[in-house]
Amino acid sequence: MFLALRDLRFARGRFALIGAVVAMIAVLGVILSGLATGLADAGVSSLRALPVTHLAFDKSASGELFSRSTVTRSTWRQWAAQPGVRKAEPLGQQLVHAQLTGPKAKQLDLAVFGVEPKGFLAPSPLKGKPLSEAPADGVLISEEIAKEGVGIGDRLTVGQADTPLTVVGTIGHASFGHVGAVYAPLPLWQKLHYGLPGQVPAAAAEQATAVALQLAPSADTAAIDKRLGTKTVDRAGAFAASPGYVAESSTMTLIRGFLYAISALVVGAFFTVWTIQRRQEIALLKAMGASTGYILRDALTQVTAILLAATAAGTAVGLALGGAMNGSAPFSLQTGQVTMAGVLLIVLGLAGAAVAVRRITKVQALTALGANR
């Protein structure tokens, strides 16, 4: 550390350069973490909020299950009667275009969830009435829809049938596939799902997208699926059924993976050049009796100091930039993820540098003598 810290002070321009690169990577790391979390929230926050352990879909559906699955009344009733099943209720899900009527008229996209108004899936409103006390066309809107200028008492119409919705209350953040969520009574959802004017056919009035389940650990989902012709996934597994969720998550993971790989390479490359430039000094240290361990510790202390300082500075800038986005992008920061991003950068930077400074072990003390230079 004696030499490492003095080198940092003496060659501060050179180290500031690599520090700035690491700091910029840290800024990118924080922003990508925030965007990844924000995108995930925008994709599945409504699913995260569901008070369920599992969802059972039609077994023939695949991929984006919410748009491809249909279950019937008999299915959710049979599910409710299976061993280990605490609660089972129908859940409808439909993405629709809506028209806000009246003086604030505008078009909106809605992710409509159909639930039984008195069931365990019906959310408690932050403002207004619960679905159980609302009229048949009453809906609860999420904060995302409220931010579009929709409020309690407003009326929306949906689809060719101009099915009317009346906003009776608001809930917190909830979105699905980057679209704000709306909770409607199941009969209303079935009407929206049918989509045509007139009376909903009897068969359509018996349908939902999935069965929302609260299961005991003892529930044998595989056996029940086989009996009832369903495909059960746990709540986290259902995220993959959200539109674009898998593609977004894997893209962000890939970008972050490349970022960290690049950071390890950049730090490694810098310290490779630095170690080569220090060859004479390293030989001198060895000739003076410094052990290889002493020199490696000194070099890695230098790397750690740079990585710590640059990562801290970059993270602070990243947080400030994230704060400045202020809703203009799907951005959400979690302390754990930001910490993990910083730790990953430091660990991978150290790994890259460790490979580089291994060269220290190969430097011969003999090089310090004039005739061997």
**Which positions touch another protein (CB under 8 A)?**
2-3, 6-7, 9-11, 280-281, 284-291, 294, 364-366, 368-372
Residue whose CB is less far from another protein, 198 or 289: 289
Q: Under 8 Å CB-to-CB from 344, ≥6 apart: which residues?
A: 29, 260
Residue whose CB is less far from another protein, 4 or 208: 4
Task: Output the smallest distance, CB 370 to another protein, in A.
Answer: 4
Helices first, then strands: H and E counts in the chain: 12, 13
Residue whose CB is less far from another protein, 6 or 104: 6
Work out the end-to-end distance of the chain between its first and last CA atoms, rounded to an integer number of angstroms.
Answer: 26
Task: Output the smallest distance, CB 9 to another protein, in A.
Answer: 7
Task: Output the smallest distance, CB 356 to another protein, in A.
Answer: 19
Residue whose CB is less far from another protein, 250 or 277: 277
Classify residue 343 by burial, with Cβ atoms within 10 Å: 0-12, 13-18, 19+: exposed
Task: Output the smallest distance, CB 23 to another protein, in A.
Answer: 23
Give me 64's structure tokens: 């984006």
Q: Under 8 Å CB-to-CB from 203, ≥6 apart: which residues?
A: none
Task: Output the smallest distance, CB 363 to another protein, in A.
Answer: 12
> What is the rounded distance in angstroms from the CA atom of residue 342 to the CA atom of residue 113?
38
Residue whose CB is less far from another protein, 124 or 361: 361
Task: Output the smallest distance, CB 266 to another protein, in A.
Answer: 23
DSSP class of 243? T
> What is the rounded distance in angstroms from the CA atom of residue 29 to the CA atom of residue 291?
37
Residue whose CB is less far from another protein, 81 or 371: 371
Describe the crossing of helices 12-48 and 335-357 by its angle, rounded to 10 degrees: 140
> What is the rounded distance in angstroms from the CA atom of residue 274 to the CA atom of residue 295?
14
Classify residue 372 by burial, with Cβ atoms within 10 Å: 0-12, 13-18, 19+: exposed
The candidate with the shortest Cα–Cα distance to 186, out of 239, 231, 134, 151, is 134
Residue whose CB is less far from another protein, 154 or 281: 281
Task: Output the smallest distance, CB 10 to another protein, in A.
Answer: 3
Q: Are strands 127-128 and 179-185 parallel, antiparallel or unpaired?
A: unpaired
Residue whose CB is less far from another protein, 289 or 327: 289
> What is the rounded distance in angstroms from the CA atom of residue 299 to the CA atom of residue 77?
67
Longest dimension (CA), the chain: 100
Task: Output the smallest distance, CB 274 to another protein, in A.
Answer: 13
Task: Output the smallest distance, CB 288 to another protein, in A.
Answer: 6
Q: What are phi and psi of 63, to 5 degrees?
A: 70, -120
Residue whose CB is less far from another protein, 44 or 363: 363
